[in-house]
Amino acid sequence: METQQQHPPKENTQQEQQPPPPPESSSSVPVAEAEMAKSSIKDSPPTPSWFTPKRLLVMFCVINMLNYVDRGAIASNGVNGSLKTCNDKGICSAGSGIQGDFNMNNFEDGVLSSAFMVGLLIASPIFASLAKSHNPFRLIGVGLSVWTFATAGCGSSFSFWSIAICRMLVGVGEASFISLAAPFIDDNAPVAQKTAWLAMFYMCIPTGIAVGYVYGGLVGNHFNWRYAFFGEAILMFPFAVLGFVMKPLQLKGFAPAESKKALAYVETVAPFIKESDVSDVNGHVSVENENVINQASKEVHKSVGSTKICSQFSRFAIDMKVLLLDKIYVVNVLGYISYNFVIGAYSYWGPKAGYNIYHMSNADMLFGGITIACGILGTLAGGFILDRMSATIYNAFKLLSVATFLGAIFCFSAFCLKSLYGFIVLFSVGELLVFATQAPVNYVCLHCVKPSLRPLSMAISTVAIHIFGDVPSSPLVGVLQDHVNNWRKTALVLTSILFLAAGIWFIGIFLKSVDKFNEDGENQVSENTKANMKPLLEGISDERPDKFCEA
């Protein structure tokens, strides 16, 4: 009995000796912020009610069309214009448009038409990288603002160099939209219509260029070429404002801005805290000494500037390595480069080749009409067909290889014919098949990488197809024509590169493909706080993007 009576006090004594749970003092704020950040990352905020998926698609399609209206407008006769000419009798006619006002030679005119590419190629990877630390929707607002002011600057330009600089800035503004719009559309599109929605978005490219030709001609001929740029700026201005005043959308794989700030604070402070200063009670990680936190914060403020910049470059290098080691992505982009090499040369040399081979009197209108009609119908058809096949990377490669191969056969056969009407029929079918690749190729770019890499995936794809595709193709085809002096042979050699594109995409069918659309983004974290905090405190550098920034 006495033994039984002495038992309860022993248990009470043991309970009293257990340390009480640590108070939630200011010293444990960083860990609390980390846990809140993780919770908010997992539970992404709901989409704002105004931005229904269809409204988002319509808005992005209009913006994309305005981008390409600008490209068509500056190439139109009404805006681009011509130099003044004088006949044998000394009677001169005044120049018109940009070329006439600034007295540009053909080289300067060619530079002006492609100057936007400089800003586009430089800024695309930058905007894609900034999406890791800034809200992507806000970045689109910044880019569209730059685009708006740059087009207005084109209308206000006073010399060749002033308008050339403005054209480069137009490319900078366009870069943010090209890198980030497609991932937003892919996020919000219905599961069974993802490639169809992408097709609608990319259909705006040929449509916008066609509208730009007409718009530039009408405005330039009836008013002045400067008003064409002012009109574009006015039309884009509401969308630029919308990017700042509307509640921003969140992109899949990226944390909300508030969560990023909290996690950034913890991840930056953690390397300056020793593991001996950290306590772990019942799975709750905290720092009990407030002086440790204060000292760590001081260290952070000393190095945060240089570390942040260096970390951005390091993260970009790591992400680039991931992309370049992804066989699916590399094969897809290589096929896209070959494809764009041909399409770029077609758009530049097509009318001249048609005029010399078939003696077309209206080669510009004919090639332009075929490209616009086939571009719209083919792009839409490619998206809808892939959805009906069930949109997967495997099916996308099948569609890419088959459509490109058949399109190459029809286009190659068209240039072999001597009949103009036979050429028109076969070439139209060929272009219809070739343009069916637009939605599938971008679908692969979006789904072969994890969500947090999609903006960079689109940016690098855009940079690659221009640097290695349509930019060098026009001069190289010109060199070939100078050598063989036969437009039919030149066109056949160029068209045969489509077979190479089909072969590269055919290889993709046999590669092991995994759709990474539903994979956790880089900001998704584990529920185990201790497991996540300990590597930071131990300073394991293999998983840290700023490891190259350390002395």
Residue 160 structure tokens: 């060749």
**What is the reported pLDDT for 551?**
46
Chain mean position to CA 358? 39
What amino acid occupies position 143? Answer: G
**What is the reported pLDDT for 264?**
46
- Residue 334: pLDDT band with limits 50, 70, 90: very high
**What is the reported pLDDT for 399?**
95
**What is the reported pLDDT for 238?**
92
**What is the reported pLDDT for 474?**
80
**What is the reported pLDDT for 14?**
44
Please, how many CA atoms are within 13 Å of residue 179, restricted to the half-sphere of its CB? 34
Identical fold, 52-83+93-256 and 319-518: yes
Per the CB < 8 A criterion, the answer to whether 60 and 185 are in contact is: yes
Q: How far apart are CA 250 and CA 139, in angstroms?
A: 12
Q: Which of the 8 DSSP states describes residue 81? A: -
- Residue 20: pLDDT band with limits 50, 70, 90: low
Phi, psi of 287 (to 5 degrees): -110, 115
**Closest to 198 (Cα-Cα) out of 492, 396, 15:** 396
- Residue 74: pLDDT band with limits 50, 70, 90: confident
Task: Select the more confidently predicted residue: 297 or 473.
Answer: 473
Query: pLDDT digits over 462-483, tens only?
Result: 889 988 988 888 888 888 888 8
- Residue 140: pLDDT band with limits 50, 70, 90: confident
- Residue 191: pLDDT band with limits 50, 70, 90: confident
**What is the reported pLDDT for 208?**
86
Question: In sequence order, which residues have a C-beta less than 8 Å from that of residue 269 and are 6 or more positions away?
Answer: 30, 293, 296, 297, 300
**Block residue for tokens 């905290």:** 286
Per the CB < 8 A criterion, the answer to whether 185 and 260 are in contact is: no
402 burial type by CB count under 10 A (0-12 exposed, 13-18 middle, 19+ buried): middle
Residue 156 structure tokens: 């206000």
**Closest to 436 (Cα-Cα) out of 491, 365, 498, 494:** 498
Count the helix, strand and coil residues of the chain and give each as a percent rounded to the nearest 5: 75, 5, 20
SS3 204: helix
The percentage of residues in the chain with a pLDDT greater than 70, rounded to a whole number, is: 70
- Average pLDDT over the chain, rounded to an integer: 76
Q: Give CATH superfamily name and number for 319-518.
A: MFS general substrate transporter like domains (1.20.1250.20)
Rounded to an integer, the average pLDDT of 181-208 is: 86
Most confident of 118-122, 124-128, 396-400: 396-400
Task: Flag whether pLDDT at 35 surpasses 80.
Answer: no
Q: How far apart are CA 213 and CA 78, in angstroms?
A: 8
Per the CB < 8 A criterion, the answer to whether 467 and 117 are in contact is: no
Angle CA(256)–CA(391)–CA(65) in degrees, nearest 5?
Answer: 65
**What is the reported pLDDT for 94?**
66
Alpha-carbon torsion, ordered 316, 322, 325, 328, to 10 deg: -120
Q: Which of the 8 DSSP states describes residue 467? A: I
Q: Which of the 8 DSSP states describes residue 82? A: B
Rounded to an integer, the average pLDDT of 404-415 is: 95
**What is the reported pLDDT for 254?**
62
Rounded to an integer, the average pLDDT of 32-58 is: 57
SS3 85: strand
Q: How far apart are CA 545 and CA 35, in angstroms?
A: 21
Task: Flag whether pLDDT at 390 surpasses 80.
Answer: yes
**Block residue for tokens 């190095």:** 303
- Residue 536: pLDDT band with limits 50, 70, 90: very low
Rounded to an integer, the average pLDDT of 271-281 is: 48
Task: Flag whether pLDDT at 1 surpasses 50.
Answer: no
Task: Flag whether pLDDT at 291 surpasses 70.
Answer: no
- Residue 509: pLDDT band with limits 50, 70, 90: very high
Most confident of 40-54, 109-123, 409-423, 494-508: 494-508
Q: Which of 54-63, 105-114, 328-337, 402-411 has the lowest mean pLDDT?
A: 105-114
Q: Roughly what angle, to the nearest 10 degrees, separates helices 194-222 and 363-389?
A: 160
- 188 vs 51, 184, 322, 476, CA distance in Å? 10, 6, 26, 41
Q: How far apart are CA 166 and CA 146, in angstroms?
A: 10
Task: Select the more confidently predicted residue: 247 or 491.
Answer: 491
**Is the alpha carbon torsion for 154, 158, 163, 165 positive or negative?**
negative
Rounded to an integer, the average pLDDT of 427-436 is: 93
Query: pLDDT digits over 220-260, tens only?
Result: 888 888 999 999 999 999 999 888 887 766 666 665 544 44
- Its pTM stands at 0.72
Spell out the domain ranges in the chain: 52-83+93-256, 319-518
| β partners of residue 86 | 92
Q: How far apart are CA 77 and CA 228, in angstroms?
A: 12
Rounded to an integer, the average pLDDT of 145-160 is: 92
Task: Flag whether pLDDT at 13 surpasses 60.
Answer: no
Please, how many CA atoms are within 13 Å of residue 373, restricted to the half-sphere of its CB? 12
Q: How far apart are CA 363 and CA 508, in angstroms?
A: 37
Per DSSP, helices labelled H in 18-135 are: 29-42, 53-75, 77-80, 97-102, 106-114, 116-130
**Closest to 149 (Cα-Cα) out of 127, 168, 128, 124:** 168
Q: Which of 103-112, 246-255, 422-431, 492-501 has the lowest mean pLDDT?
A: 246-255
Residue 131 structure tokens: 């999406």
Chain mean position to CA 139? 12
Residue 119 structure tokens: 């800003």
Per the CB < 8 A criterion, the answer to whether 382 and 435 are in contact is: yes
Query: pLDDT digits over 341-377, tens only?
Result: 998 888 777 777 877 888 776 666 777 778 788 888 9
Rounded to an integer, the average pLDDT of 260-281 is: 47
Cβ-based neighbour number of residue 163 at 10 Å: 23
Query: Strand 85-86 relative to strand 278-281: parallel, antiparallel, unpaired?
Result: unpaired
In this structure, whether the domain defined by 52-83+93-256 belongs to CATH 3.40.50.720 is answered with no
**What is the reported pLDDT for 176?**
83
